[in-house]
Structure 1
Amino acid sequence: MFGTKVALIIRSGLPVWQKLNVAAFLATGVAAAAPEALGEPYVDQGGRVYGRMLGQPVLVFAADKAGLQAAHGEALARGLAVVPYVAAMFSTGHDAANRAAFAAEDPTDLDLVGLALRGARKAVDKATKGLSLHA
């Protein structure tokens, strides 16, 4: 049993390629925010070393914009590690432009299309309460 939990929340209704893109970016954000969550490198029988992955399961939820905003507010209130992805980031081409697009958002009405959360299990459960696992 893990003392922490990782959850990705992806906006329902996005095209599949956008859902997968958002999930991939959010997972890297969790790894960057919590390097201690990474497991050890994988090594095959030939001794080749492969990259590390998160060392615990990741739950993926679906939500509309309101659900994402509610989870965001709850996560901030509970001090969770939060990684956001907003719709404007789909039209950028590099990391600096992504940060600029995010910085231009109204913090009281973020156009969230994805959110990653990591922290104490119960706190993540509270932030994702009422959301369904992504189908």
Structure 2
Amino acid sequence: MSFSTKIAVVVRDDLPTWQRLNVCAFLVSGIAAAVPELVGEAYEDADGTKYLAMFGQPVLVFEASAAVLSAAHRMTLDRGLPLSIFTKELFATGNDADNRAAVLAVPRDALDLVGLAVHGPRNAVDKIVKGARMHP
């Protein structure tokens, strides 16, 4: 099945594996909150056990250098696409209020980005993630 839009997550390539996974989890929650129509129907197994709904389309995960991540951030903002970010400072916080305060304390161009997630038209997202590579 082909989709007209794409969900992409880009994580910095110098993070330990546990941090990459943590960043991905947080970032996609932002996309789900901003674009709820991307979430499909709830799941149910043959025994009638119910499970939560998930995105109805694939989420592509990429890794990139800090420079490529910064460029992707600028391009996403320039295109006005839904964007979630994760900065290095968020690893030291323990709750949503402190996370927001940590981001609020830093000007946009000085954010120490370790990840971002974007949703938009396929061709626009492809241009945004140019230079990133599929996560192994």
Backbone CA RMSD of aligned residues:
0.8
AA aligned to 1:20 is L
* 8 Å Cα contact 2:64-2:131 kept in structure 1: no
2:9 aligns with 8
1:133 aligns with 134
Mapped pair 1:41 → 2:42: yes
* 8 Å Cα contact 1:68-1:114 kept in structure 2: yes
State the Cα distance separating 1:13 from its structure 2 match: 1.1
Deviations 1:9-44 (A, max 9, x none): 000111111111001111111111111000100011
Deviations 1:61-84 (A, max 9, x none): 111111111001111111211000
| Distance in 2 between residues matched to 1:70 and 1:105, nearest whole Å | 17
* 8 Å Cα contact 1:80-1:124 kept in structure 2: no
| Distance in 2 between residues matched to 1:61 and 1:110, nearest whole Å | 19
AA aligned to 2:75 is E
State the Cα distance separating 1:108 from its structure 2 match: 1.3
Alignment of 1:50-61 (within 5 A): 50-61=51-62
- Please identify runs of 4+ aligned residues in structure 1 that moved more than 6 A: none
SS at match of 1:123: helix
| Distance in 1 between residues matched to 2:3 and 2:68, nearest whole Å | 25
| Distance in 2 between residues matched to 1:40 and 1:8, nearest whole Å | 22
2:109 aligns with 108
AA aligned to 1:121 is R
State the number of aligned residues. Answer: 135
